[in-house]
Amino acid sequence: MTAEIYKCGFVAIVGRPNVGKSTLMNKLLGQKISITSRKPQTTRHRILGIKSTDNQQIIYVDTPGMHLGAKSAMNKYMNRAASTILSDVDLIAFVIDINRWTDEDENVLQKLQREKIPVVLVINKIDMLKRKEEVLPMITELGKKMDFTDIIPVSAKRGSNLDRFEKIASRFLSESAPLFPEEQVTDKSERFMASEIIREKLMRRLQQELPYSLTVEIEQFSTKKNILHINAIIWVERDSQKKIVIGKSGSVLKDIGSSARKNMEQLFEQKVHLEMWVKVKQGWSDSESLMKRMGYDDIG
């Protein structure tokens, strides 16, 4: 009896900010790996999401949104994190928002046209269409922009058509043993996941009040007497931002801490004691050396 062939490969999920790339990966994996919010540029790092079955392993690479006008060190870092992965994958999933095609979409398209990797166009948020028949002329028009291997409309939020997307992705995997253990779902450490949970709560709670000059650094991550102790520093760039994060009588920081701790206890499956401090480091998001100290150094 011939052994079943095992396949493995990488699928990069790329696109401009806020088109639903992280939501797509989380839904494909069936669990939350990448943080999400309605604010663009929530994802700052490349994050692997590993999905293993009996006969294949698809390694999805969630990337920061590629954007124009990248002037700060942080903006440049995110664009590099997204761009440098393109030549090292088996398939590129180019995610767009069904509601509009922008200059930033065009910018991503031009980058992809220079690559020799097959590209599938993923039209996200089809659940927002009032009339489903509207999608067919869109597919025809978008198909003229590039020789895509396939064009697939999906709803990452509702999970619509993702089974078809996975079948397409499977075609581009190579015959190979799995690169990661079957039980592993991401390449990121628990410390990283803890910092991202806090950052997600901050971005969701503060909405438009705070710009992107905010990051989270985990100082302590250790278990004592079956309790996981996590100490985190929330870095901002100005004293006025510090006041916003703390809130009146510490109310904002308390709410964020409570919400983050509950998510951490679910993720780490143990009781968590979380302490957070807010500190000011002027200009950190425009300093490559300071960014590296805060964990922005994972571009290979």
| Residue where a domain terminates, one of 120, 150, 175 | 175
97 and 236 inside one domain: no
171 and 194 inside one domain: no
Query: If you average pLDDT over every residue of the chain, what do you get?
Result: 89
How far apart, in whole angstroms, are the C-alpha atoms of residue 87 and residue 115? 7
161 and 252 inside one domain: no
Tens-place pLDDT, residues 203-241: 888 866 665 678 999 999 999 999 999 999 999 999 999
The residues facing 123 across adjacent strands are 96, 153
Residue ranges for the chain with pLDDT beneath 50: 1-2, 300
12 and 160 inside one domain: yes
Q: Which two tokens stand for residue 256?
A: 């964020």
Distances (CA, A) of 204 to 10, 64, 208, 256, 259: 30, 17, 9, 10, 11
144 and 16 inside one domain: yes
Find the helix packing angle between 239-246 and 190-206, rounded to 10°.
90
63 and 153 inside one domain: yes
Judge whether 183 lies within some domain: no
38 and 138 inside one domain: yes
How far apart, in whole angstroms, are the C-alpha atoms of residue 163 and residue 280? 46
| Residue where a domain terminates, one of 128, 152, 175 | 175
14 and 152 inside one domain: yes
Contact 18, 95 (CB under 8 A): no
Judge whether 35 lies within some domain: yes
Q: What CATH number is associated with residue 63?
A: 3.40.50.300
Judge whether 184 lies within some domain: no
Number of domains in the chain: 2
Judge whether 134 lies within some domain: yes
- Report the pLDDT value the prediction gives residue 177, as an integer from 0 to 100: 95
Strands 214-224 and 227-236: antiparallel
Q: Which two tokens stand for residue 290?
A: 């300071």
Q: pTM for this structure?
A: 0.87
| Residue where a domain terminates, one of 141, 175, 209 | 175
- Report the pLDDT value the prediction gives residue 181, as an integer from 0 to 100: 95
Host domain of residue 107: 7-175
Q: What is the DSSP letter of 186?
A: B
- Report the pLDDT value the prediction gives residue 1, as an integer from 0 to 100: 41
- Report the pLDDT value the prediction gives residue 300, as an integer from 0 to 100: 44
Judge whether 181 lies within some domain: no
89 and 220 inside one domain: no
Q: How many CA atoms lie within 13 A of 255 on its CB side?
A: 15
24 and 163 inside one domain: yes
How far apart, in whole angstroms, are the C-alpha atoms of residue 28 and residue 163? 9
280 and 224 inside one domain: yes
208 and 154 inside one domain: no
Judge whether 19 lies within some domain: yes
Judge whether 182 lies within some domain: no
Judge whether 180 lies within some domain: no
Query: What contacts 292, CB < 8 A, 6 or more positions away?
Result: none
Q: What CATH number is associated with residue 238?
A: 3.30.300.20
- Report the pLDDT value the prediction gives residue 288, as an integer from 0 to 100: 83
